[in-house]
Amino acid sequence: MPSHIRFLPLLLGSLLAASCATAPAPETPAPSAPAQASAPEPVTVAERYITVETPAEELDSLATWLADDGMTWLIATGKSSHRLTVYDAEDGTRLREFGGEGSGPGQFNRPNGIAVYGDHLFVVERDNHRVQVLKLPDFQFVGTFGEEQLRSPYGLWVNETEPGELEVYVTDSFMYGKQFDEVPPLDELSQRVRRYRVQFDQAGQLRANYGGAFGDTKADSALRMVESIAGDRANDRLLIADEDRRHESTLREYSFSGQYTGRSLPQDSFGAEAEGVVLWTCPDGGGYWIAVDQLAPLTLFHLFDRVTLEPRGTFRGSTTAHTDGVALHAASMPHFPGGALFAVHDDKAVAAFDLRDVANALNLSKDCVD
């Protein structure tokens, strides 16, 4: 994002899409959506484009960045290729790749969550147990943090607490057992989200301090398998996705102090795993949370009121399936004057939805896309 528009409050929650990744447990085929009498009937919103498929990448999470030349980049993590792929967000053209397998600067070991803040790119590496920070547009290595605490990190969300100071929340879904599919004891689930205070000095050097961990440890509300996370500072709200369908897959609400509020999204909303989550903000202070229901043959995208968390509608694409990560770019682009929602399709491509199409299909406020 160029300096003349970085840090717009309207875009903060949108551009830093919560990241998500394949759960540590062995993958099983996504189920079909069950009948849910209380859930909104889904409507179809056709994708504006789907990128060329690249199955070998095993795409996972997405973020956008507005370059100084006016081009919007769409950046995706590739878990199996251990690199990043950059697309033109306007039409899905593949622009370049960056990285490769390793533990050195500019290398990755199973990159998952990704976020952009200003010109800094944050990438979570599950198997390097760290967050790597790069400077765009050249992917210049800035530094890493979290190696001493992170055990199996997946998603992250970045928030500016004051000018020049960031707070980074990282989900840590470490598991036990030979297949890494055993949830840790309840008392260890207090470490499911880790918090870091991050600054960049005048020379551009990274400074990061660990701020502790949090997570509820009650049997009926603990975070068992965590990946995506996103926040809304105006409403003191973090939504954290728990993917463990052996218990209950939903998004749970936490305050910025790390306290579980006792609330979660309606339990009958998700027929499969609750995955990526992003905040779509509107000028009047309202807006919508968009949460992924990782179904096949078609992903469902559930919308909830920004303030009340009440359901506001559900849509699906014509093709998009088994979605992991999503990113919402609220800024106007020539092909998407009202902004766009980007979603991973079946680990091998990226789909783009026009937010005007979503608003029209679900009868949402036009103020959000004008």
Q: What is the mean pLDDT of the chain?
A: 90
Model pLDDT, residue 19? 43
Average pLDDT over residues 286-311: 96
- Residue 366 banded pLDDT, cuts 50, 70, 90: confident
The two tokens of residue 17 are: 């899409």
DSSP H helical ranges for the chain: 9-15, 355-362
Return the residue matching tokens 């070998």: 56
- Residue 3 banded pLDDT, cuts 50, 70, 90: very low
Cβ-contact 61, 74 below 8 angstroms: no
- Residue 40 banded pLDDT, cuts 50, 70, 90: low
Distances (CA, A) of 223 to 58, 172, 252: 25, 10, 8
Is the predicted pLDDT of residue 23 greater than 90, yes or no?
no
Model pLDDT, residue 266? 80
% residues pLDDT > 90 (the chain): 84
Q: What is the distance between the alpha carbons of residues 240 and 235, in angstroms, rounded to a whole number? A: 15
Distances (CA, A) of 255 to 93, 202, 219, 232, 260: 39, 32, 20, 10, 7
How many Cβ atoms are within 10 Å of 209's Cβ, its own excluded? 10
Q: What is the distance between the alpha carbons of residues 61 and 3, in angstroms, rounded to a whole number? A: 24
Model pLDDT, residue 39? 57
Cβ-contact 220, 242 below 8 angstroms: no
pLDDT in tens, 75-118: 999 999 999 999 999 999 999 999 999 999 999 999 999 999 99
pTM metric for this prediction: 0.89
Distances (CA, A) of 182 to 136, 185, 244: 38, 9, 11
Tell which wins on pLDDT, 146 or 15.
146
The two tokens of residue 173 are: 């879904």
Model pLDDT, residue 269? 86
Cβ-contact 19, 325 below 8 angstroms: yes
CA angle (102 as vertex; 101, 107 as ends), nearest 5: 80
- Spell out where 245-358 has E strands: 250-254, 260-264, 274-281, 287-293, 300-305, 311-316, 326-329, 340-345, 349-354
Least confident of 35-49, 234-248, 352-366: 35-49
- Residue 27 banded pLDDT, cuts 50, 70, 90: very low
Model pLDDT, residue 361? 97
Cβ-contact 361, 66 below 8 angstroms: no
Helix (H) or strand (E) holding 160: strand 153-162
Maximal CA-CA distance, the chain: 57
- Residue 205 banded pLDDT, cuts 50, 70, 90: very high
Distance of CA 301 to the CA centre of its chain: 14
How many Cβ atoms are within 10 Å of 28's Cβ, its own excluded? 8
The two tokens of residue 134 are: 């790069």
- Residue 304 banded pLDDT, cuts 50, 70, 90: very high
Q: What is the distance between the alpha carbons of residues 361 and 196, in angstroms, rounded to a whole number? A: 39
Is the predicted pLDDT of residue 354 greater than 50, yes or no?
yes
Rg (CA), the chain: 18
Q: What's the one-letter identity of residue 112?
A: N
Three-state secondary-structure class, residue 338 = coil
Is the predicted pLDDT of residue 282 greater than 70, yes or no?
yes
List of domains in the chain: 9-368 (2.120.10.30)
Q: DSSP letter at 90?
A: T
pLDDT in tens, 309-335: 999 999 999 999 999 999 999 999 999
Q: In what order do the strands lie in the sheet with 49-50?
A: 49-50, 349-354, 340-345, 326-329
